[in-house]
Chain A
Amino acid sequence: MNQAVENKNVDNDELDRRIVMATQSGLPVVAEPYHQIAKQLDIPTQLLMDRLNAMKQDNRIRRIGVVPNHYKLGYTANGMSVWDVDDAIINEVGEQLGKLDMVTHCYQRPRFLPEWSYNLFAMVHGHDREEVLSKVEQIAELLGNKAHKHDILFSTRILKKTGLRLKEKAKEK
């Protein structure tokens, strides 16, 4: 899968929504985690697994797995690198960036001319600021004249951080 990931707004049915509610804070760390969730939802395990696979298929679930605390792994610096790339080649450049080490997110976003000409955002992580800067320089060299200019924005303070959560109430249609 190296194409741009498509955004589909999928209408979740009620069971999918219950599955999200039951798993959005995580899976139980047991030998049969899906069995345990299915029991809790009072559905067959196979049905739960089918629904999860379907949600993976259409990218409602990015993946199932672990998220390491990158600070504890020693990646304490992160910079949001921003690039001004011709729209005509942005798919090619975006895929090129996504493949690089330590780039954890890569998005095309709208420009606000004249004050903001950057349309490609790539989050770059490193063990320290110097490592992030040298990564970004490597990317700049790799892109050459495909990028007209770039900048890097280091975070200086976390002002707020809360998780994204579906609300308990049923969604009005």
Chain B
Amino acid sequence: MDQLDKNIINTLQYDFPVCERPFAQLAETLNSTEDELINRVQAMLDNGLLTRFGPMYNAVNMGGALSLCAMKVPKNRFDDVTEQVNAFPEVAHNYQRDHEMNMWFVLATETQQELNNTLNAIEDTTGIPVYNMPKEKEFFVGLHFKA
């Protein structure tokens, strides 16, 4: 990763222009060429430095439902409950965290009704209450990762 790669990461995390030839437009700002930028972005996608290039969609604003949920899972049942929870396709991410609330997962569904049904089904299957913590407000985040 050289300085140009870093500049690309730091610039393109914020905005990739919507125009006929976006890389050509960026070439001026980044003091490079259209071809060079295309090659660099492709190389960083190939080597895993970048995980994505494109529009980031906001699931909730697209009409779907999304929520962060937490559970207090007894230690001796943790692996079994993990298996039960992960078996639901609506569970997108699931993390173990070092707290009494030790399981944190994200539910993503197309409708609010499906989300509620899934919550109930997880409680029924595991016998453990689920704390449902959907975002009530999102605050603008100005800075991303500095390469």
List the interface of chain A (C-beta within 8 A of B).
Answer: 1-5, 7-12, 20, 23-27, 29-35, 45, 49, 52-53, 55-56, 58-70, 72-73, 75, 80, 90-91, 94-95, 97-110, 112, 116, 121, 125, 151, 153-164, 166-167, 171
A34 & B18 in contact (Cβ 8 Å cutoff): yes
A-side contacts of B38, CB under 8 Å: 29-31
B interface size (C-beta, 8 A): 75
Per the bound structure, the CA–CA distance linking A102 and B85 in Å amounts to 30
Query: Can you identify 28 A-B contacts, CB atoms within 8 angstroms?
Result: A1-B140, A5-B138, A8-B61, A25-B54, A30-B38, A31-B34, A34-B20, A61-B56, A66-B53, A68-B9, A68-B144, A68-B147, A91-B139, A94-B137, A103-B143, A104-B141, A107-B137, A108-B139, A109-B134, A112-B131, A116-B70, A155-B95, A155-B96, A160-B86, A161-B92, A161-B93, A164-B108, A167-B110
List the interface of chain B (C-beta within 8 A of A).
Answer: 8-9, 12-16, 18-24, 34, 38, 41-42, 44-45, 48-64, 66, 68, 70, 82, 85-86, 91-99, 101, 103-105, 108, 110, 131-147
A153 & B97 in contact (Cβ 8 Å cutoff): yes
B143 & A110 in contact (Cβ 8 Å cutoff): no
B-side contacts of A1, CB under 8 Å: 140
A-side contacts of B22, CB under 8 Å: 33-34
**Min distance, Cβ A144 to any Cβ of chain B, angstroms:** 19
Residue of chain B at shortest CB distance from A104:
B141
**Min distance, Cβ A137 to any Cβ of chain B, angstroms:** 18
Per the bound structure, the CA–CA distance linking A90 and B95 in Å amounts to 26
A4 & B143 in contact (Cβ 8 Å cutoff): no
A-side contacts of B63, CB under 8 Å: 9-12, 171
A156 & B61 in contact (Cβ 8 Å cutoff): no
A80 & B54 in contact (Cβ 8 Å cutoff): no
When A and B form their complex, what is the total count of cross-chain residue pairs whose Cβ atoms lie within 8 Å? 243
Per the bound structure, the CA–CA distance linking A24 and B55 in Å amounts to 7
B-side contacts of A49, CB under 8 Å: 18-19
A80 & B97 in contact (Cβ 8 Å cutoff): yes
B139 & A98 in contact (Cβ 8 Å cutoff): yes
A-side contacts of B131, CB under 8 Å: 112, 116
Residue of chain A at shortest CB distance from B49:
A72
Given contacts A29-B53, A31-B23, A103-B143, contact A7 B110 (CB under 8 A): no
A155 & B13 in contact (Cβ 8 Å cutoff): no
**Min distance, Cβ A12 to any Cβ of chain B, angstroms:** 6
A-side contacts of B104, CB under 8 Å: 80, 153, 155
Since A63-B14, A64-B16 are in contact, a sample of 9 more A-B pairs with Cβ atoms closer than 8 Å, ordered by chain A residue number, is A26-B53, A32-B20, A62-B56, A66-B53, A68-B50, A98-B141, A99-B143, A109-B136, A159-B94
**Min distance, Cβ A36 to any Cβ of chain B, angstroms:** 11
B-side contacts of A94, CB under 8 Å: 137, 139
A160 & B105 in contact (Cβ 8 Å cutoff): yes
Per the bound structure, the CA–CA distance linking A42 and B115 in Å amounts to 35
A4 & B15 in contact (Cβ 8 Å cutoff): no
